[in-house]
């Protein structure tokens, strides 16, 4: 059933099989997708009703355009009735007035529905994505996700606001005109419309082909956006290595693939319209041949014939539109599938129901194992940490230190074993309440495009006094005070208007501002000089007295004062104790300590 890809547009015709048609029909009735939209569509009843009124105006006016041909020919030209000279132009203007008013109402409300749905969908989608598991967010390129929230949704907008009403309008026009044609002359109607069913089949096939191309086009779009985001995010390293050409070439490959796939759907999709044109011509030819004879034989007036041929001419226009909409719908169907795929994703990390109200006073890892893909990042880790303790994690790179911290934030759930807070498995707590009590300074620093104060108070009300206090503890106040707008200085994207160390200190201030009872510092002072680090340490000493602090560090000065040091190697805690004890008892620690000093 699967089609091979063809580079030319005509080859699909020799691939016709009954099986395909059944499959196509089933798929392309769009039932599934329409069902998904129904709840949204229902909310716009009033707007759709107005669209319907607009459509009724337009359809009636279109049919009237054909009908006016009869008096135009018979009464005005043949019978030469004087009053018709006034009535027909007047009537025509009236008809077009109705048609235009109808179109305007229709267009305004169609767009209203479309814009409104897209705006909501963007929020729904962002809410969904941002709440998905960290695993998902790590694995999916930001460009890919951006493309879903922008491009795919735009294609859906086109579907709900343009295609759906248009489809309805054109179908109604067809019904009205066909009714009119049959009313005028059933025999002639039969001859003119008999050609129509012939085209249904190829159109179905084209639709299927197009859906495939649309999906590819959307995927390619995601690739292109991903490349772009990567280039813009990494501009510094690109410039430093003078790899602009290299990046351009890489981009160019994706970009032209995108072009090719889009052209493929143009080749196939745009065949529908000319095909319908030819069919229309065949219909008209039949009418002229058969109808002409009727007029010659006096069975039909010239006016009737003209009205008839106008109606038939008019009927092919909406049919052409319907078939081309039908093929374009494939695009929306493919986009919808991608969007709904995302909306249907289930999180593996399930939120608990208990609200953690008390401060975190006790943290315990009980035989915790965590498997990424096929290797263990944590392998049977058991440890207990109490209020007031200051724990340091040391170990070789890739040992599992950051993973240890991530477990407390439920970025991952243990493959086996338990993580407990205040004696309760953290899976039982709501994530919001759990995280309310935890402050994290990550290995990579995140700064938002907002005022510096808002970055420190991130997610909470800005309290000027508290911001300054936090900045002071983080040894950042001196440099912040020297900025032109002080704590209200606007941060650029990624905090690019700060130095690396300054950024790090803002991040520490953010962690302090939160007044959480569990502080997690993942190499939070790696970009700072020894002096600054010492100052922060001294300041924090008092601040963290009644809190739990877990610090990951590669520098001896950071960890020497810890209450307990855990040596993490290949996912296991191989030793723990104070600096002095470990220096004596642990080979690995000795080696690490030697390296820390240098
Ligand atoms: N999201 C992930 N998916 C798969 N593997 C991962 C993921 N994150 C980390 N790992 C792997 O887990 C192991 C532990 O990583 P982790 O980041 O915890 O190390 P670390 O001790 O913090 O190292 P460093 O000191 O370099 O920061 C590494 O081997 C790493 O490759
Ligand atoms: Mg790490």
Question: What predicted TM-score, i.e. pTM, was given to this entire model?
Answer: 0.77
CA of 570 to the centre of ligand 2 (A): 13
> Which atom of ligand 1 is nearest to 395's Cα?
21
Structure tokens at 218: 């959307």
Q: Which residues surround ligand 2, an ion (CB under 5 A)?
A: 402, 443
Q: What is the pLDDT of residues 232-272, one digit of tens each?
A: 988 888 988 889 999 999 999 999 999 999 999 889 888 88
Point out the ligand nearest to the CA of residue 381.
Answer: 1
pLDDT exceeds cutoff 80 at 196? no
Q: What is the pLDDT of residues 120-141, one digit of tens each?
A: 889 999 999 999 998 888 888 8
Kindly state which CATH superfamily the domain 11-343 is placed in: ABC transporter type 1, transmembrane domain (1.20.1560.10)
| Smallest CA separation from ligand 1 atom 19, residue | 398
Point out the ligand nearest to the CA of residue 378.
Answer: 1
pLDDT of residue 597: 55
Rounded distance between C-alpha atoms, residue 413 and residue 405, angstroms: 12
Q: What is the mean pLDDT of residues 268-291?
A: 84
**Burial letters 527-546, b for 16+ CB under 10 A, else e:** bbeeebbebbbebbeeebee
CA distances from 576 to 215, 392, 579 (A): 54, 10, 9
Q: What is the pLDDT of residues 32-63, one digit of tens each?
A: 777 777 787 788 889 989 999 998 999 899 88
Mutating to test ligand 1, I would choose from 369, 400, 406, 559 the residue with most ligand atoms within 8 A of its C-beta, which is 400
Q: Chain-wide mean pLDDT for the chain?
A: 85
CA of 219 to the centre of ligand 2 (A): 32
Query: Where do the domains of the chain lie?
Result: 11-343, 362-597
CA of 571 to the centre of ligand 1 (A): 9
CA of 307 to the centre of ligand 2 (A): 79
- Enclosing H/E stretch for 281: helix 272-296
Burial of 90 (0-12, 13-18, 19+ CB in 10 A): exposed
| Smallest CA separation from ligand 1 atom 29, residue | 398
> Which atom of ligand 1 is nearest to 443's Cα?
27
| Smallest CA separation from ligand 1 atom 6, residue | 372
Neighbours of 84 (CB within 10 A): 17
- pLDDT band for position 284 (cuts 50, 70, 90): confident
397 contacts: CB under 8 Å, gap ≥ 6: none
Structure tokens at 545: 């007295």
263 contacts: CB under 8 Å, gap ≥ 6: none
Q: What is the pLDDT of residues 307-334, one digit of tens each?
A: 888 888 888 888 888 887 877 777 888 8
Kindly state which CATH superfamily the domain 362-597 is placed in: P-loop containing nucleotide triphosphate hydrolases (3.40.50.300)
Handedness of CA 205, 206, 208, 212 (dihedral sign): positive
pLDDT exceeds cutoff 90 at 167? no
Mutating to test ligand 1, I would choose from 397, 399, 524, 558 the residue with most ligand atoms within 8 A of its C-beta, which is 399
User: Any idea what DSSP says for residue 490?
Assistant: B
pLDDT exceeds cutoff 50 at 287? yes
How does strand 416-421 pair with strand 438-441?
unpaired
CB 157 within 8 A of CB 142: no
| Smallest CA separation from ligand 1 atom 5, residue | 372
In this prediction, what percent of the chain has a pLDDT beyond 90?
A: 35
228 vs 188, higher pLDDT: 228
- pLDDT band for position 525 (cuts 50, 70, 90): confident
Q: What is the pLDDT of residues 66-77, one digit of tens each?
A: 888 888 888 888
> If you search the block for the tokens 């779009």, which residue do you land on?
221
User: Any idea what DSSP says for residue 76?
Assistant: I
pLDDT of residue 6: 30
Rounded distance between C-alpha atoms, residue 65 and residue 268, angstroms: 33
99 contacts: CB under 8 Å, gap ≥ 6: 57, 58, 61, 62, 65
Point out the ligand nearest to the CA of residue 403.
Answer: 1
């Amino acid at each position: 059933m699967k089609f091979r890809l063809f580079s030319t547009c005509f080859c699909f015709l020799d691939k016709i099989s009954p099986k395909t048609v059944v499959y196509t029909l089933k798929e392309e009735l769009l039932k599934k997708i329409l069902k998904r939209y129904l709840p949204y569509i229902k909310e716009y009843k009033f707007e759709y009703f107005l669209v319907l009124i607009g459509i009724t105006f337009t359809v009636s006016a279109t049919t009237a355009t054909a009908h006016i041909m009869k008096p135009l020919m018979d009464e005005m030209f043949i019978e030469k009735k004087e009053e018709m000279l006034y009535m027909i132009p007047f009537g025509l203007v009236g008809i077009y007035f109705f048609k235009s008013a109808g179109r305007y109402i229709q267009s305004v409300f169609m767009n209203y529905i479309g814009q409104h749905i897209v705006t909501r969908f963007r929020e729904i989608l962002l809410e969904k994505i941002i709440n998905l598991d960290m695993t998902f967010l790590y694995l999916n390129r930001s460009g890919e996700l951006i493309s879903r929230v922008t491009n795919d949704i735009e294609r859906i907008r086109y579907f709900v606001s343009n295609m759906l009403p248009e489809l309805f309008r054109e179908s109604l026009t067809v019904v009205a005109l066909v009714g009119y044609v049959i009313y005028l002359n059933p025999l002639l109607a039969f001859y003119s419309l008999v050609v129509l069913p012939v085209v249904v089949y190829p159109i179905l096939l084209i639709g299927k082909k197009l859906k495939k191309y649309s999906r590819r086009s959307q995927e390619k779009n995601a690739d292109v956006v991903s490349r772009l985001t990567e280039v813009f995010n990494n501009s510094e390293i690109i410039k430093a290595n003078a790899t602009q050409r290299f990046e351009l070439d890489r981009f160019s490959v994706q970009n032209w693939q995108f072009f090719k796939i889009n052209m493929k759907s143009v080749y196939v999709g745009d065949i529908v319209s000319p095909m319908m044109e030819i069919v229309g011509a065949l219909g008209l030819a039949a009418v002229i041949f058969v109808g002409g004879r009727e007029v010659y034989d006096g069975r039909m007036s010239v006016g009737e014939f003209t009205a008839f041929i106008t109606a038939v001419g008019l009927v092919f226009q909406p049919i052409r539109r319907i078939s081309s909409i039908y093929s374009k719908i494939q695009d929306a169907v493919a986009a919808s599938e991608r969007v709904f795929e995302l909306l249907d994703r289930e999180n593996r990390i399930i939120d608990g129901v208990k609200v953690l109200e008390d401060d975190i006073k006790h943290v315990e890892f009980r035989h915790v194992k965590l498997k990424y893909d096929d290797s263990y990042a944590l392998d049977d880790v058991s440890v207990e940490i109490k209020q007031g303790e200051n724990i340091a994690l040391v170990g070789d790179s890739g040992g599992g230190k950051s993973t240890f911290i991530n477990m407390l934030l439920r970025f991952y759930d243990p493959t086996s074993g338990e993580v407990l807070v205040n004696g309760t498995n953290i899976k039982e707590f709501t994530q919001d309440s759990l995280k309310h009590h935890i402050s994290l300074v990550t290995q990579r620093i995140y700064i938002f495009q907002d005022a510096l104060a808002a970055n420190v108070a991130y997610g909470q009300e800005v309290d000027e006094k508290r911001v300054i206090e936090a900045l002071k503890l983080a040894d950042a106040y001196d440099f912040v005070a020297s900025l032109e707008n002080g704590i209200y200085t606007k941060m650029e994207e990624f905090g690019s208007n700060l130095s690396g160390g300054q950024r790090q200190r803002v991040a520490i201030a953010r962690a302090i501002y939160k007044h959480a009872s569990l502080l997690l510092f993942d190499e939070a002072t790696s970009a700072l000089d020894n002096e600054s680090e010492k100052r922060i340490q001294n300041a924090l000493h008092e601040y963290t007295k009644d809190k739990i602090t877990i610090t990951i560090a590669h520098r001896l000065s950071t960890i020497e004062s810890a209450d307990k040091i855990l040596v993490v190697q290949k996912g296991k805690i191989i030793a723990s104790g104070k600096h002095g004890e470990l220096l004596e008892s642990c080979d690995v620690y000795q080696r690490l300590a030697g390296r820390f000093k240098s």
